[in-house]
């Protein structure tokens, strides 16, 4: 079963519900702040989901916005109680950028995660040996390497748990053939992808060499979809770049890019067949 909602998810649930209720009440954030006798910044922070919210303050906001349905009030009160505390990734703040931490908050709320990387296996699907070989190629010290690896495995456990989001990944054939950590590591890595892609939660499609030129030869990215909000985009690179609903044009651009990749990729059946071939390929090289 899925773990209890992360505090960031409860804060997100509250901000969406409270913003919607305020809009229906015909109030601006400044109107709400004046009516509640709060600072404007307090209302802004609550609606941004950057702070926890006490049940007392929640009840005051709901009264002001005219939300009285017992079931709705009870559900939001429970979210307010769960909005306190730190997110699971807070213990890894020493090895992540603020932008990646923000991305993890969005990822934890997503119902669908779509990913593409032109040269590597995306982190959600990496085995321990594969990830370790990648990190060893960077100038990290031993402690930072282990902390980063631990964070990656904790992220996988959270996202790929039962009841987690649907994950769709376009895998470049180059990434599946590149010798990261040697033949044994790659055989294990491809076998791992083959196993999880045979289930219901993860859908994998290989972009073969024969696909030729496509819309994303250089960029790696994640598209995050939500039940009640527009897509968010995370561009992978030094520091990362997260775009949510603020830049709809660039998000639409990457949505089109993903569809181009998906259209050129193999079917699930052909992908599984090629994964079997690649397992034998790495076995022969080892």
- How open is the CA angle 16-106-14, to the nearest 5 degrees? 20
Question: Which has the higher per-residue pLDDT, 189 or 245?
Answer: 189
Burial 92-125 (b: 16+ CB within 10 A, else e): beebbeeebbbbbbbbbbbeebbbbbbebbbbbb
- The predicted pLDDT at position 156 comes to 96
Where exactly does CATH 3.30.870.10 map onto the chain? 88-285
Lowest-confidence range among 83-92, 125-134, 166-175, 257-266? 83-92
Where exactly does CATH 1.10.260.40 map onto the chain? 7-81
- CB-CB contact of 32 with 63 (8 Å): no
HSE-up of residue 222 (Cα within 13 Å, Cβ side):
26
**Dist. CA 152–CA 125, nearest whole Å:** 10
Q: In which element (H, E) is residue 235 found?
A: strand 232-235
Q: Which CATH architecture best describes the domain 7-81?
A: Orthogonal Bundle (1.10)
Q: Is the whole model's pTM more than 0.85, yes or no? A: no
Contacts of 264 (CB under 8 A, 6+ apart): 207, 211, 214
Place 5 in a pLDDT band, splitting at 50, 70 and 90.
Answer: low
Place 244 in a pLDDT band, splitting at 50, 70 and 90.
Answer: low
CATH superfamily for domain 88-285? Endonuclease Chain A (3.30.870.10)
């Amino acid at each position: 079963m899925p773990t209890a909602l992360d505090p960031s998810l409860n804060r997100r649930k509250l901000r969406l519900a409270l913003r919607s209720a305020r809009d229906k009440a015909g109030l601006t954030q400044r109107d709400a702040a004046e009516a509640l006798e709060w600072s404007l910044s307090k209302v802004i922070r609550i609606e941004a989901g950057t702070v926890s919210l006490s049940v007392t303050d929640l009840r005051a906001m709901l009264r002001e916005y005219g939300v009285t349905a017992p079931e709705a009030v009870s559900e939001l009160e429970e979210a307010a109680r769960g909005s306190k505390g730190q997110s699971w990734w807070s213990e890894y703040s020493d090895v992540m950028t603020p932008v990646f931490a923000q991305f993890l908050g969005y990822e934890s709320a997503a119902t669908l995660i779509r990913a593409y990387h032109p040269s590597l296996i995306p982190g959600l699907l990496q085995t321990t040996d594969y990830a370790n070989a990648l990190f060893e190629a960077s100038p990290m010290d031993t402690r930072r390497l282990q902390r980063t690896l631990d964070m990656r495995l904790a992220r996988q456990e959270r996202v790929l748990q039962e009841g987690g989001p649907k994950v769709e990944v376009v895998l470049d054939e180059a990434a599946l053939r590149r010798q990261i950590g040697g033949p044994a590591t790659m055989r294990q890595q491809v076998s791992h992808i083959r196993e999880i892609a045979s289930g219901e939660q993860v859908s994998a499609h290989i972009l073969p060499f024969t696909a030729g030129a496509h819309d994303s030869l250089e960029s790696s990215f994640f598209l995050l979809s939500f039940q009640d909000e527009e897509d968010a985009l995370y561009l992978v690179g030094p520091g990362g770049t997260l775009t949510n609903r603020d830049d709809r044009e660039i998000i639409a651009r990457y949505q089109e890019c993903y569809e181009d990749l998906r259209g050129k990729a193999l079917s699930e059946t052909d992908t599984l067949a090629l994964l079997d071939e690649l397992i034998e390929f790495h076995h022969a090289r080892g």
